Each structure stands twice: as C-alpha cells, then as structure tokens.
Amino acid sequence: MTAFTTEQKLLRESVQKLMATHANRDYVRAKDKARAYPYELYDAWVEAGLLGVIFPEKYGGMGGDAVDLAICVEEIAYVSADFQMCYGGSMFCGVTLLMKGSEAQKEAWLPKVISGERRFSISMSEPEAGSDVGAIRTKAERQGDGYVLNGQKLWNTAAGARDNTMFVYVKSDPTAHYRKGVSLLLVDNDAPGVKLNKLDMLGRHCAGTYEVFFTDAKVDEDRLVGGENKGWDCVLSGLQIERVVSSAGNCGSAQGVVDMAAAWAKERKQFGRPIGSNQAIAHMIADMQTEVAAAKALTYQAAFKVAAGEDALAEITMAKLFSSETFVKVANMGMQIMGGYGYSNEFDMARFYRDCRSCTIAAGSSQIQRNLIAGLMGLKVQ
C-alpha cells in the first residue's frame, strides 16, 4: 500500500476540524432526534470544497482521487454514519456522471453538485429487485424528445433532500433480457409525476430512506446518461467508487465506536476501578481496534489501486464485506462495554448501533459480496 501524501494528511486534519466545528455532539443528537437532514453541515462541506474533492478542476473540483475521497468519507463517518450517506451519495453518483456522462452533461451538472446547488442520490432497488438488480421493472417509454416513467423504487437513501436529483435506473427496452435494456435517467425529486415517501427505518434517520413513485413522469432526453439501454455499464462504472465510499464510511464509524468504547472503559468505575482494567473488557477493545485496523488496511489498499486507475474489484469487494461486518461487530461490542448507557438514546453508541445494521445489507449485502469474491476465485456460486 502506498503512503498518504502530506496533502492527504492535511486534508484529513481539515475534515476533522470541520466536523468538530460544524457537527458537535449536540448538533448530531438534535438532528438524529428530529430525523432532520443536516443542511447546515452540507453547506459547510460545500464551503470547504469537499463536494469537489474527486472532480477535475475544469468543472470546479479539487482534482483529487479515490484516496482523497475515502479520507473525507472516513472522517465524516467517524462522527455519523448517517451524515456520511448525505455526502457519499452525491459523490459516487457524481463519479458515474463523470465516467459515463457526455461533456455537455458534465459541464451542466458537476459544477452544480460541487457548489451545492444540486444533490445526487441513487434509485436502483425496487420491491421485487433488491440483490437481483437486473430484475428492475420501472419502465421508461420513448415519447417525443424524451421518456415517460412509470413504476416504483424502494430504499432510496437521501432521495427526499431538497434540490436533489435522483439517478434512476429504468427498463427502457422491455423486450431485452434482464440487465440489457436498462438506462440511467436523471430525475429531480420534485418533478411532476414523482412522489416520495420517507420510510420508518431502524436507523439513518437524517439522510432518510425513501420509496419513490413515478406516474407518467416526463424526463427530457438530455437527462439520459451513457446512452439508451447502456445503463448496466453505468452501474459497473461507479461500482468500485461506491464500494470505496461504503468501506471508508464503515471504517470511520467503526473507529468512532472503538474510541467511544475505550474512553468509556477508562472513565466508568465499578467495584472501585475503571471497567477497562478488567481484562475481559480490555481485550474486547483490543480486538475491536485490531479489526478496524484490518478493515482500514483493506479499504486503503483498494482505494490506492482505484486511484492508480487499476482494477480493484476483488480488493474493494473484500473491503466492503469486511468493513461492514466489522462495523456491526464493534457496535455490538461497544454497546456491551457501555452497558445500559450504550442502550440509551441519550448516548451516541445507540445511534451507531442503529446506523450500523444497514451496512451489511445496503450497497450489496454481505452474501452478495461473498458470491462475487468466490466468483472471482473461479467458484460457480448458484
């Protein structure tokens, strides 16, 4: 693995400072309690240029790479896994546009996402198409200079934020088999014919998880990305960056949990001594830190390869699998270490515990990641 540059170390420090200034404990708790989107924090990210970190300078970005992006995501997620989803969605959808959009589309959309004028979210899953993404049914029919959409999407993170444009995967050729005949369309969440409903989920209450209904929603042709019926190429183009984002997010949040548990174990006294002086507790914390360090190593090994323009599908899939399971594991142990306080919604451990659970499900479940890794090893998994 390559080492972080001086600039990358400075970037990490600046994101840490930004989060400490704009997302202190009271802010995070208040937003979580109110289930409210962190617009003020998003504005601070925009102000600091974080929405442009991975985009070329000619569109107003910082011209960074996958490692720079991973650093930003990790430090945001250290504070809140939920807030990280607000940042991450705009980033990996933007990368899909960067890779598959026309020059005119890049010029039209990327400066807007960098300046905070628009946000992006992804709309892929449907009631009957979760792990089996190729089974999507939302259809787009050609009409004049554009398309008419009908159908339903499900579990769409942060789709309801204001000024949000959804990256909607649709079936544009109903006669084409499975993953063929899929297209990617950009649809504003307040366009006529589009209706959203925020779902009552276990966690991630601020970004929110939405179902989206399309009823004769009209979409202009210039919002088609990557060509008609070429949507599957768009899915694949953004996949590795999406997994860099999820893996770095898992690592950041898992580290947040470990630090919280370690601090508690040093402070909390029972039987006249800190609970961390019991070997049972100290060893749990040592195991937690070891696993998080391993998750980070896998994640950055993959991110450095992606940044170098190399194929990192195997590494980033293993990183997504391991980091998500590590986050779930350490949040469970962190709650045990904090006892009743950990279970209380007045403490941040409970929020991480709620927010972690979706990580082994969303963006490809652990089982799907294992299928893929085994497949890359030459095993034919049914």
Cβ distance to ligand FAD smaller for residue 8 or 371: 371
| Residue 362 CB-density burial (10 A; 0-12 exposed, 13-18 middle, 19+ buried) | middle
For residue 84, the minimal CB distance to ligand FAD (Å) is 12
Cβ distance to ligand FAD smaller for residue 97 or 261: 97
Please confirm, yes or no, whether 242 is among the known catalytic residues. yes
For residue 153, the minimal CB distance to ligand FAD (Å) is 6
132: its two tokens: 């089996």
For residue 149, give the H/E element and its range. Answer: strand 146-157
Cβ distance to ligand FAD smaller for residue 90 or 299: 90
95 close to 70: Cβ distance less than 8 angstroms: no
Q: Helices (DSSP H) in the chain: which residue ranges? A: 6-22, 25-34, 39-47, 66-79, 81-100, 103-114, 231-267, 279-307, 313-343, 348-356, 366-376
Q: Helices (DSSP H) in 48-172: which residue ranges? A: 66-79, 81-100, 103-114
For residue 343, the minimal CB distance to ligand FAD (Å) is 21
Taking CB atoms, the residue at the shortest distance from ligand FAD is 130
Residue that the structure tokens 């993953």 belong to = 179
Cβ distance to ligand FAD smaller for residue 211 or 348: 211
Cα 97 to chain centroid, rounded: 16
For residue 204, the minimal CB distance to ligand FAD (Å) is 5
For residue 376, the minimal CB distance to ligand FAD (Å) is 15
Q: In 10 A of CB 249, how many CB atoms?
A: 30
Q: Which of 270, 292, 291, 293 is nearest to 281 (CA)?
A: 270
Task: Give the interface with ligand FAD as residue ranges (CB under 6 A).
Answer: 121-125, 130-131, 155-157, 201, 204, 209, 358, 361-363, 365, 367-368, 371
For residue 125, the minimal CB distance to ligand FAD (Å) is 3
251: its two tokens: 């690592």
65 close to 185: Cβ distance less than 8 angstroms: no
Q: How many whole angstroms separate alpha carbon 234 and alpha carbon 226?
A: 7
For residue 144, the minimal CB distance to ligand FAD (Å) is 28
Cβ distance to ligand FAD smaller for residue 227 or 375: 375
Active site residue: 126, 211, 242, 325, which one? 242
Cβ distance to ligand FAD smaller for residue 105 or 164: 164
373 close to 312: Cβ distance less than 8 angstroms: no
DSSP states along 241-294 = HHHHHHHHHHHHHHHHHHHHHHHHHHH-EETTEEGGGSHHHHHHHHHHHHHHHH
Cβ distance to ligand FAD smaller for residue 59 or 167: 167
Catalytic residue numbers, as ranges = 242
